[in-house]
Amino acid sequence: MNEFKEKYGSWALITGASSGIGAAFAKELAGKGISLVLVARRKAVLDLKAAELQDVYGVEVKTVELDLTEDGAVEKLAEISKDIDIGLVIPNAGMITYGSFVKTPLEDQQKLLKLNIMVPMQMAHIFGQRLAKRGKGGIIMISSTFAYQAVPYFGNYAASKSYILYLAEALHYELADKGVKVVALSPGLTDTEMPGKIPMDFSKMPMKIMKPEAVVKTAFKGLSHDKSSIVAGGMNKMMAAMSQRMMTRSGVASMFGGMNKKAMDSEYI
């Protein structure tokens, strides 16, 4: 048995595994010989990925078609996986809203809170209990570099990721003596479907886009170094540190607001 398997066990659960960072987690873990439960709404996409991972890495892969914003979704996930000895949990599925907060439908903002906050919180609670009972395991919570300051025109999204960062950092402490490692991963701009949906010229932003595979490797570095949180990418690390330590809170919010206002399609401002 390899060292990773010994630490966490043979199974991992990943939500939002049909694309982007979740799919990269699936590939990286399959490469480590870990069997997977993959969750998303697009079942056909998940099944294709599952077949490929089974084929290439010889691991077992179960797919679950689930809209996590539906009532009872996390309970359903707990029920489906109750006889699988899951050792690593990655509540990765997320959504973004953008543009002037008051122009966006309230319904979308509420859905975001459910998917980005309620669902990962419930998963951390339910699976955190299971892992603690088991005496070993890990939870990788997906935050963002947007968590490190207020971000006008992405206000609700950034706030949801701040919640995840602080919850993960607290759970890192609480669960450490139960043998469970918790880490918040904060990606910056990453080459996935998500930024592609935003009407914005990213070349006007002082950001370097990262590949999801590189982002995922950072999470495992965070786990192995027992960090409570980790930012992916050198430039992103510098920006996050600058936001928190070198500028006033209102100053950094104005800076992000100004940049987003310039780069976003004006009809959304």
**Residue with smaller CB distance to ligand NAP, 9 or 98:** 98
Q: Does 97 bind ligand NAP (CB under 6 A)?
A: no
Q: Does 41 bind ligand NAP (CB under 6 A)?
A: yes
Residue from 9, 87, 94, 99 binding ligand NAP (CB under 6 A) = 94
- All residues at 6 or more sequence positions from 142 whose CB lies less than 8 Å from its CB, including other chains: 21, 90, 91, 92, 94, 120, 164, 184, 185, 187
Write down the least CB distance from residue 197 to ligand NAP, Å.
7
Q: Does 190 bind ligand NAP (CB under 6 A)?
A: yes
Only segment of 29-37, 62-70, 77-85, 250-258 that touches ligand NAP (CB under 6 A):
62-70
Contacts to ligand NAP from residues 222-251, by CB under 6 A: none
**Residue with smaller CB distance to ligand NAP, 9 or 183:** 183
Residue from 7, 19, 166, 259 binding ligand NAP (CB under 6 A) = 19
d(CA 11, CA 35): 5
**Residue with smaller CB distance to ligand NAP, 137 or 212:** 212
Chain centroid offset of residue 230 CA: 12
Q: Tokens at residue 22, please?
A: 């979740």
Catalytic residue at 103?
A: no
Phi/psi zone of residue 233: left (φ > 0), alpha (ψ -120 to 50 degrees), beta? left
86 three-class SS: strand
Write down the least CB distance from residue 116 to ligand NAP, Å.
6
Residue from 9, 22, 138, 152 binding ligand NAP (CB under 6 A) = 22
d(CA 73, CA 36): 18
DSSP string computed for 144-208: -GGGGS--TTSHHHHHHHHHHHHHHHHHHHHHHTTTEEEEEEE--SBSSHHHHTS-B-GGGSS--
Active-site residues, by number, are 157, 161
Contacts with ligand NAP, residue ranges (CB under 6 A): 15-22, 40-42, 45, 66-69, 92-95, 115, 142, 144, 187, 189-190, 192-195
